[in-house]
């Protein structure tokens, strides 16, 4: 019975509204070291990456200049924060036993309450970008040219 009804039904099938949006992407490169805690692979040892972060902002409208945000402002705020806090630092889990040793040597560290994976770095930079008031859609954290983690807003 249901199959007959669907064949003859004239009511349009509802579908989600597709909203066109502007997206802008600012890429920021930085170098960092880390190691993963409680992990068996190669990344359990201290090592470094040439990381690349892509910050994507989204908006349905532009400002009077025709911009979602000036690329320069993303660089000036998020880029500067990355340069001051993450660039050329060891990014480590706060309970990693390497932390006190490296601190004693005066090495610059950035400590997280989670493992310093690409996923958690993407989330960190996403939340930091939001704190600058940016309409962040997603942050992609490229740990290598082939490995990327994405942290994306759930609303879009």
What residue ranges bind Zn ion (CB under 5 A)?
Answer: 43
What is d(CA 108, CA 90) in angstroms, rounded to the nearest whole number? Answer: 7
CB of 118 to Zn ion, least distance (A): 8
Residue with smaller CB distance to Zn ion, 32 or 134: 32
Residue with smaller CB distance to Zn ion, 43 or 112: 43
CB of 33 to Zn ion, least distance (A): 8
Concerning whether 88 is annotated as a catalytic residue, the answer is: yes
From 45, 47, 88, 147, active-site residue: 88
What is d(CA 21, CA 124) in angstroms, rounded to the nearest whole number? Answer: 24
Concerning whether 31 is annotated as a catalytic residue, the answer is: no
From 43, 107, 119, 148, active-site residue: 43
Q: Buried (b) or exposed (e) across 30-68, using 16+ Cβ within 10 A?
A: bebbbbbbeeeeebeeeeebebbbbbbbbbeeeeeeeeb
From 34, 49, 138, 143, active-site residue: 143
Catalytic residue numbers, as ranges: 43, 88, 143
């Amino acid at each position: 019975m249901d199959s007959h009804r669907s064949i003859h039904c004239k009511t349009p099938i509802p579908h989600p509204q597709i909203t066109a949006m502007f997206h802008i992407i600012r890429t920021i490169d930085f170098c960092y070291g880390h190691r993963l805690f409680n992990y068996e692979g190669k990344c359990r040892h201290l090592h470094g990456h040439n990381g690349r972060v892509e910050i994507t902002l989204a908006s349905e409208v532009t400002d009077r200049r025709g911009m979602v945000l000036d690329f320069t402002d993303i660089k000036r705020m998020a880029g500067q924060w990355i340069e001051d806090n993450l660039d050329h630092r060891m990014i480590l889990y706060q309970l990693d036993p390497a932390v006190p040793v490296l601190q004693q040597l005066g090495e610059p560290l950035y400590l997280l309450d989670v493992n310093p994976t690409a996923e958690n770095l993407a989330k960190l930079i996403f939340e930091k970008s939001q704190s600058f008031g940016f309409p962040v859609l997603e942050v992609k954290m490229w740990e290598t040219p082939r490995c990327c983690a994405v942290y994306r807003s759930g609303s879009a």
